[in-house]
């Protein structure tokens, strides 16, 4: 293969542009269809945020599936499968358990309360303060997460293919904001259906063509098996292994449960179905779709390994980060077939559009229902709908702005550094296509002054006497996943080691965010629905403890990342790459690939907190949820538990069967009571607070 960077063609951009245009058309169509005669009017706020609760199970289920597979997952899942093997498919098992738990335990409560925002439940159970806390936590976290979802694929594809980052970032963000603001929930759902079809079609083409190039399915399986990629028998209980049967079925289940049972973006979709039964079917359809998409993506990773088993693109210097595997793979195998890489581009950004549109609509719903609606009791419905559209527009611009700000923070797919002795060279922002390293203290002896710059494409900024290197600019630095650093000579007798420091953006990054934010929030809903004794002080304490623990783990694991060996990264090889010097594209380096050093005493990893930081990111959510529930129960009993008789019917899961068929006129507080009336009536809030105070 050539070492030159592979780029998209005009045909590829045409395919990508067609996908964006059709997505925008769906949004406009749904807007015109739902608003009837007037382009600016709509039926109601409920219609904008929930589709009038008349959506079918199939489109909602597919939409739930689409928003899970963001561009980060489309690019990241194949890479994770390439590096960790086919055991990644255990993700489907964890997702299946989550779907059953959500459909059985959480969905009935939300649906029968007829709410729009999941945080409305928190107000009905624990008061206005907890509702505001949940709303603000969701808004801040979702805004940051969505900004990263927009930026990550743009940055990865820019580094791997030269795709203009700002053009892709702004265009996708604006188009997504446009159709979400116009069409509301219906536009989001039906656009998601189209984008899932694009994602699936893209993975199918990649799998089929890659398999043909690899010599057929039998050859792919043989190479994958010889490379330890067919590894479904990983039942080790080691929590530090990034992926295993247990990490997916225990940790993964809790992560996805926090996303589907406590996250407004998901709850808002399945409560938009016509009936509770259809809402449950939507979850099961979502599960089926996720299994198909995840399996397709993971299989593409295995096919990719079959093609690159003897010449890994990362070790050979063709790419600079693991998340670039998929983009390079697609451009490599379709280099003679223009247009097909554009389908992959549409596939990656289809996932991004679905996630971003869902987040924008959910943030607008939370702001409207939880924060603003109590002040809009006397406002006309038309004014409220226009405000909903304005909120969607503002949040769309906010997400694009967040993505732009993140790009200025010098975050990369991997944060790395160069070391020379006890001096250090840190990465800095550089011009496109290059990576710069600034030196704090790296001196050269006088006899090195005769050293020459080996190539014109590599820049060394030094002082007048050639004693100190101020900056090194490498066009394509050879990053490695191995723990052993790569040694290469730049000047005679002078060696600099390239080592990986802290992986920041990886496929697990989005799950880490969900574990940190949604884990404690899931604990709050568990306390509310399943533990009658839980009270307001206990719930606040639980959220605080759970969030603190999750944040501590996330920061600690970034500062003290586990080694690839501990995470279970499988072996890759670059031993048979043709023309090594030309491939690396920096002939000034005398490159050696040392064997991993013999395992010595790992003092920093065998004891204390650093060992704790090494646990798989999939367990972060489970730990934060468990800590939140435990702290909430303890504090609730210490401060005086809530009496079950004081809890409004319909708020506890245990009471669902008892009150399901109770006529609304038979009780003053039926579980089918429209929460909008309850939430917007200040007198009800006063009575509720007085009732809680008398109990305590």
How do residues 497-511 score in pLDDT, each as one tens digit?
333 322 333 444 555
Q: Which two tokens stand for residue 138?
A: 């969701």
Which stretch of 48-52, 155-159, 215-219 has the lowest confidence by average pLDDT? 155-159
* Mean of pLDDT values over 517-534: 93
232: nearest Cα among 123, 95, 102, 93: 93
pLDDT for 603 beyond 90:
no
pLDDT for 696 beyond 70:
no
* Mean of pLDDT values over 635-640: 95
* Mean of pLDDT values over 185-204: 87
pLDDT for 564 beyond 50:
yes
Its CATH architecture, for the domain 10-411, is Up-down Bundle (1.20)
pLDDT for 145 beyond 50:
yes
Contacts of 356 (CB under 8 A, 6+ apart): 146, 149, 150, 172, 173, 176, 396, 399
Q: Residue 427's beta-bridge partner residues?
A: 437
Q: Which two tokens stand for residue 315?
A: 């070790």
Phi, psi (5° rounding) for residue 627?
-65, -40
Note the pLDDT tens digit of each residue in 365-393: 999 988 888 787 777 778 888 888 899 99
Note the pLDDT tens digit of each residue in 107-119: 999 999 988 888 9
User: According to the model, what pLDDT value does residue 5 have?
Assistant: 56
* Mean of pLDDT values over 70-95: 87
Q: What is the arrangement of strands in the sheet containing 486-491, beginning at the earlier edge strand?
A: 459-462, 469-474, 435-439, 423-428, 414-420, 494-503, 486-491, 590-592
User: According to the model, what pLDDT value does residue 375 have?
Assistant: 82
User: According to the model, what pLDDT value does residue 85 have?
Assistant: 92
Of the chain, the percentage scoring pLDDT greater than 90 comes to 27
Beta strands in 429-493 (DSSP E): 435-439, 459-462, 469-474, 486-491
* Mean of pLDDT values over 43-49: 74
Q: Which two tokens stand for residue 120?
A: 């409305």
Question: Quick check: pTM over 0.85?
Answer: no
User: According to the model, what pLDDT value does residue 159 have?
Assistant: 65
- Answer yes or no: are the C-beta atoms of 618 and 91 closer than 8 Å: no
Q: Where in the sequence of the chain do the CATH 1.20.1730.10 domains occur?
A: 10-411
150: nearest Cα among 302, 352, 340: 352
Transcribe 292-332 into DSSP letters.
HHHHHHHHHHHHHHHHHSSS-TTTTTS-SSGGGHHHHHHHH
Radius of gyration of the chain (CA): 27
Query: Across all residues in the chain, what is the average pLDDT?
Result: 74
pLDDT for 477 beyond 60:
no
In eight-state DSSP terms, residue 273 is B
Contacts of 578 (CB under 8 A, 6+ apart): 1, 311
pLDDT for 483 beyond 60:
no
* Mean of pLDDT values over 662-683: 35
DSSP reduced 3-state for 676: helix
Q: How confident is the model at residue 658 (pLDDT cuts 50, 70, 90)?
A: low
């Amino acid at each position: 293969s050539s070492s030159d960077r592979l780029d998209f063609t005009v045909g590829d951009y045409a395919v990508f542009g067609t996908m964006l245009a059709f997505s925008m058309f769906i949004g406009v169509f749904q807007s015109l269809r739902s608003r009837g005669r007037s382009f600016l009017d709509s039926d109601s706020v409920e219609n904008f945020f929930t589709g009038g609760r008349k959506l079918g199970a199939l489109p909602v289920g597919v939409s739930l599936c689409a928003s899970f597979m963001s561009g980060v997952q489309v690019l990241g899942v194949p890479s994770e499968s390439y590096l960790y093997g086919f055991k990644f498919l255990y993700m489907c098992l964890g997702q299946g358990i989550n779907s059953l738990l959500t459909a059985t335990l959480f969905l009935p409560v939300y649906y029968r309360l007829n709410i729009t925002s999941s945080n409305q439940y928190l107000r009905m159970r624990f008061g206005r303060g907890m509702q505001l806390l949940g709303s603000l936590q969701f808004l801040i976290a979702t805004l940051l997460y969505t900004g990263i979802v927009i930026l990550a694929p743009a940055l990865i594809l820019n580094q791997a293919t030269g795709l203009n980052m700002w053009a892709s970032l702004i265009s996708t963000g604006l188009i997504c904001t446009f159709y979400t603001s116009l069409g509301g929930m219906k536009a989001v759902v039906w656009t998601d259906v189209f984008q899932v079809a694009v994602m699936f079609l893209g993975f199918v083409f990649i799998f089929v063509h890659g398999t043909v190039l690899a010599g057929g399915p039998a050859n792919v399986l043989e190479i994958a098996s010889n490379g330890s990629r067919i590894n479904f028998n990983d039942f080790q209980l080691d929590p530090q292994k990034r992926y295993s049967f247990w990490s997916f079925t225990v940790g993964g289940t809790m992560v996805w449960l926090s996303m589907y049972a406590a996250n407004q973006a998901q709850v808002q979709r399945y409560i938009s179905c016509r009936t509770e039964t259809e809402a449950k079917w939507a979850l099961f359809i979502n599960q089926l779709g996720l299994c198909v998409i995840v399996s397709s993506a993971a299989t593409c990773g295995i096919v990719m390994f079959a093609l690159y088993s003897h010449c890994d693109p990362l070790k050979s210097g063709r790419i600079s980060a693991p998340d670039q595997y998929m983009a390079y793979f697609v451009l490599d195998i379709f280099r003679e077939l223009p247009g097909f890489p554009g389908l992959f581009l549409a596939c990656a950004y289809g996932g991004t559009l679905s996630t971003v549109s869902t987040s924008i609509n959910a943030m607008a719903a939370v702001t409207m229902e939880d924060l603003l609606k109590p002040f809009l009791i006397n406002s006309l419905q038309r004014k409220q709908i226009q405000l909903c559209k304005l909120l969607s527009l503002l949040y769309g611009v906010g997400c694009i702005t967040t993505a732009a700000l993140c790009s200025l923070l010098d975050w990369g797919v991997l944060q790395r550094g160069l070391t020379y002795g006890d001096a250090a060279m840190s990465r800095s922002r550089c011009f496109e296509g290059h990576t710069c390293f600034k030196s704090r203290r790296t001196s050269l002896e006088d006899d090195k002054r005769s050293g020459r710059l080996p190539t014109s494409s590599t820049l060394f900024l030094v002082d007048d006497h050639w004693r100190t290197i101020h900056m090194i600019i490498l066009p394509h630095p050879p990053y490695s996943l191995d723990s052993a650093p790569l040694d290469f000579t730049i000047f005679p007798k002078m060696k600099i080691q390239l080592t990986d420091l802290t992986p920041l953006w990886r496929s697990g990054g989005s799950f880490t965010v969900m574990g940190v934010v949604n884990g404690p929030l899931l604990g709050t809903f568990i306390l509310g629905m399943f533990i009658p004794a839980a009270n307001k002080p206990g719930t606040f304490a639980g959220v605080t403890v759970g969030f603190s623990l999750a944040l501590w783990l996330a920061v600690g694991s970034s500062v003290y990342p586990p080694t690839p060996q501990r995470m279970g990264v499988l072996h890759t090889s670059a031993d048979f790459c043709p023309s090594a010097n030309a491939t690396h594209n920096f002939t000034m380096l005398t490159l050696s690939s040392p064997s991993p050093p013999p395992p010595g005493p790992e003092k920093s990893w065998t004891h204390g907190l650093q060992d704790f930081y090494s646990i798989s990111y999939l367990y972060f959510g489970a730990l934060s949820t468990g800590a939140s529930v435990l702290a909430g129960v303890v504090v609730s009993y210490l401060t005086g538990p809530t009496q079950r008789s004081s809890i409004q019917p319909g708020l506890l899961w245990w009471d669902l069967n008892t009150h399901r068929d109770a006529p609304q006129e038979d009780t003053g507080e039926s579980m089918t009571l429209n929460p909008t009336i309850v939430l917007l009536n200040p007198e009800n809030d006063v009575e509720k607070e007085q009732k809680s105070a008398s109990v305590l």
